[in-house]
Structure 1
Amino acid sequence: MRLDKFICKSTELTRTEAKKVLKSGEVRVNGDVAKNAAMQVHENNTVTIDGQQLTARGSRYYILHKVVDSICSNVDEGYPSVLNFIEVDKAFDLHIAGRLDADTTGLVLLTDDGRWSHNVISPKKQCQKTYRVWLRNAIDDDKLAVLVTKFAQGLQLQGEDSLTRPAILTRVAEEDLLDEQCYKSEVLLTITEGKYHQVKRMFAAVGNRVVGLHREQIGAIVLGDLAPGEWRALSPDEIALFS
């Protein structure tokens, strides 16, 4: 962990304040003065400020139901950051493990544990993400069967050198529809990578257009009945899924 981040997790200092303390020479790591904010420290290091030993707080893990017109960023840029919805101390020290576009709703994971979030988003981990997709053009059963095969084989997206990884496309069962009028145009898509605007580009590649997008699941973590804008801490079992 970066030294400035360790200080923030051990005190009430902001990242800016931590860097000022470092410059002052008050911080020591294993007895030696440390001024480099990017210095990596570990559990077995002794970090002190003015002789007081620091102990980092435990990492935090949350799930949020992202609403439309909010952004997965640590700053407000046109739209409010999703971090505004997390009512915890130092919410803006968290980061998003798997971003969503401003117009996309659904499951967002937030943490201050970099290793944990890496296990969520790293392409090597091939973590499944499931999206509910509303399409401009309805898909009949014959067309769906063709698309299921195409998505499973991989699609060539504009500007990409390689095909997308195999994806799972299914129709939403009638009893599970969020919009009863959308039986032929409401589908579920499960992917294991996160290219730029990937879901929208995949359907564009087969001549359709996404008009609504909602993430329901990451790995075995399910959004469930969490209402739009609501959040909760992940359970120990959920945290362990990516530890």
Structure 2
Amino acid sequence: MKRERLDKVLANMGIGTRKEVKQLVKQGLIEVDGVTATDPGMHVIPEQQEILVDGEPLHYKRYVYFMLNKPPGVISATEDPRHETVVDLLPPEWAAKVHPVGRLDIDTEGLLLLTNDGQLSHSLLSPKKKVDKEYYARIAGRVTPEHADAFAKGVTLDDGYVTMPARLEILSSGEESEIKVTIMEGKFHQVKRMFAAFGLQVVYLKRLRMGTLLLDETLEPGEYRELTDEELASLRKLT
């Protein structure tokens, strides 16, 4: 396992800035394996060594994985000058360290994964992995089996791009239709643009699944939880 500077480990865990950590060391409030630390630059193996901060044990995590039920009106970004972002909904000690895996439009709800594991994030978003995403949507207008056939062949978007084949399941069809759609890409406004190609408008959109990861329906919009070991292991198998 990798050795890291003590002040870096504590800063990454949200204990404080490196400058603040140095003050804690100076005050004798940091212990490593029962010995008071005197050098904030000392190297430690946080997964193996016991680190106490003012008598409280540090539960070290190199990576974190949060499932968020994204509410409407929130931006899928780490910062934005005008809108609340998805990281603003997380604990402050992690908000500055994680990033959303992919994006949901500002008015789109549902499953969003946030992590500081760049390798997993890259793999899940790689077109080569073909990790599928399932959405529930309400559509203004009648969705027909002909639309489902067209989705299965790939839809030409407004910029000429032809999407990969997608699965369209019609739950109800009428003046407002209910559908589920599964895509393997993440083009800008893709689901909305696919329906727009047929003169149909998406009036509500919610992501239900990403690969093997299902939205926990007990999470209210804006709520989050960490992934279970089983959920994380299943995601890693995809990559």
Deviation of the 1:75 alpha carbon: 1.1
2:192 corresponds to which of 193, 200, 203: 200
The 1:173/1:158 distance shift into structure 2, 3 A limit, reads closer
- Residues 172 and 183, structure 1, Cα contact 8 Å, conserved in 2: no
Name 1:66's counterpart in structure 2: 70
TM-score, scaled relative to structure 1: 0.73
Asked whether the equivalents of residues 132 and 183 of structure 2 are also in contact (C-alpha less than 8 Å), the reply is yes
The correspondence of residues 85-100 of structure 1 with structure 2, limited to 5 A, is 85-87=89-91, 89-100=93-104
Specify whether residues 82 and 63 from structure 1 end up closer, same or farther in structure 2 by C-alpha distance, changes over 3 A only: same
Count of residues paired in the alignment: 200
Judged with a 3 Å threshold, the aligned counterparts in structure 2 of structure 1 residues 194 and 8 are, in CA distance, closer, same or farther, namely farther
Q: Please say if 1:185 is aligned against 2:177.
A: yes
Residues 138-149 of structure 1: pairs in structure 2 closer than 5 A = 138-139=142-143, 144-149=144-149
Q: CA deviation at 1:173?
A: 6.6
Query: What's the CA shift string for 1:1-40, capped at 9, x where partnerless?
Result: xxx9x988622168xx67xxxxxxxxxxxxxxxxxxxxxx
Is it true that 1:10 corresponds to 2:12 in the alignment?
Answer: no
Q: Point out where structure 2 has 5 or more consecutive residues left out of the alignment.
A: 19-38, 48-60
Over 3 Å counting, the alpha-carbon distance change for 1:50 and 1:230 in structure 2 is closer
- Structure 1, gaps ≥5 residues long: 19-47, 175-181
* 1:240 pairs with 2:225: no
Q: Distance in 2 between matches of 1:9 and 1:117?
A: 23
Q: Which residue of 1 aligns with 2:120?
A: 116
**Distance across 1 between alignment mates of 2:111 and 2:139:** 20
Q: Which runs of structure 1 show a deviation greater than 6 angstroms over 4 or more consecutive aligned residues? A: 6-9
The 1:75/1:8 distance shift into structure 2, 3 A limit, reads farther
Q: Which is richer in strand?
A: 2
Aligned equivalents of 2:183, 2:6: Cα separation in 1: 37
RMSD, aligned CA: 3.0
The whole-number CA distance in structure 2 between the counterparts of 1:8 and 1:170 is 52
For residue 50 of structure 1, what is the aligned residue in structure 2?
41
> Match of 1:116, SS?
helix
**Residue 87 of structure 2: which of 72, 83, 86 is its match?**
83
- Check if 1:170 corresponds to 2:163: no
1:133 aligns with 2:125: no
Give the 3-state SS of the residue equivalent to 2:93 in structure 1.
Answer: coil
Matched with 2:111 is 107
**Contact residue 151 and residue 166 of structure 1 kept, 8 A:** yes
Equivalent residue for 1:158?
Answer: 158
Deviations 1:203-229 (A, max 9, x none): 011111111111111112111322211
Distance 1:7 1:137 in 2: 59
Amino acid at match of 1:240: A
